Amino acid sequence: MENSQKPNQHGLTEEASLELRAEAPEPSVIDMSPAYPKYRDPLIKVIAVVIIVLILGGGFFFIKGKDLNIPIPDLKQNPLQFFTQLFLGDGTYQSCESFVRENRDLFEYLGESITLTPVRQEVRVVNRKKTARIIFRAKGSEGMGTLLFLLEKGKKGWGVVSVRSKTKGGDYRILYPRSKATSKNRV
C-alpha cells in the first residue's frame, strides 16, 4: 500500500474523504445569513441621492444665495432665522426685534438703526412651558455689542422676560427688567 492509500482515523482513504467533502460542502457564513429585505438596495440609493442633493443645494444657497431671486425673502436675508422659524415656530426673532424698536432707550449706547443678527438659539420645553434663549450680535450706528434675550411663550406668543448686554469683561449686564439689587450677573 502506498502512503496515499493509507486509511485515516475514520477508516477512509484520502481520496474517499475528498469525494465526501465535495458531495456535501459545509455551509459558509453567507449561506447561513438571512436574506436581505426586498427594497433594501433601492432605499439606500434613494437616501444617498437625497443626502447629496441636500448637501449640494445647501452649499449652493450659502455660496450663491445672495445673487438669487428667491421668492422667500427671509431665506435669502437670514437662512438661520428662516429655518429656525420653520422648525420651532415663528415669533422669537420678531419679539426680540420689536422689543428693541419699542425700547430704544435701553440700547442708546449702540446708536440708531440697530440690526440684530442671531448667533445662537436654545429653545427648551420643561413641564409644557417653552422658554428660549437667543444670543444676538447687535450693530448700530455707534457700535456693536452682544445681547442675550430670554423669552417665554405665553398664550399670545413669545414675550421678552430678560435682556442682558455682554460687557468687555465677559459678564452680562441686565438691561431689562431694571433691578436695583445688582447690575452685573453671570449667565
Over 5-52, what HEC string results? HCCCCCCCCHHHHHHHHHHCCCCCHHHHCCCCCCCHHHHHHHHHHHHH
Instruction: For the beta carbon of residue 14, count every other beta carbon within 10 angstroms.
Output: 13
Which pLDDT belongs to residue 67? Answer: 57
Same domain, 105 and 141: yes
CATH of the domain at 171: 3.10.450
Torsion-angle region of 186 (φ positive above 0: left; ψ -120 to 50: alpha; else: beta): beta
Residues 28-50 pLDDT 10s: 777 777 777 777 788 889 999 99
Chain length of the chain: 187
**Distance, CA of 87 to CA of 181 (rounded, Å):** 38
Q: How many domains does the chain have?
A: 2
55: its cell numbers: 448637501
168 located within any domain = yes
Same domain, 115 and 178: yes
Q: Answer yes or no: is pLDDT of 19 > 90.
A: no
Same domain, 93 and 178: yes
171 located within any domain = yes
Question: Among the ranges 68-72, 124-128, 162-166, which has the highest mean pLDDT value?
Answer: 162-166
12 located within any domain = no
Lowest pLDDT segment from 5-9, 33-37, 72-76, 166-170: 72-76
Residue 55: what are its φ and ψ, rounded to 5°?
Answer: -65, -45
Same domain, 128 and 173: yes
Range of the domain at 49: 40-68
Whether the pTM exceeds 0.85: the reply is no
pLDDT (average), residues 150-154: 91
Lowest pLDDT segment from 17-31, 108-122, 136-150: 17-31
Same domain, 94 and 64: no
Q: What is residue 89's DSSP assignment? A: -
138 located within any domain = yes
CA angle 158, 87, 85 (to 5 degrees): 50
84 located within any domain = no
Nearest partner of 93 among 121, 66, 72, 65, judged by Cα: 121
Quick one: pLDDT band at residue 85, thresholds 50, 70, 90?
low
Same domain, 64 and 108: no
31 located within any domain = no
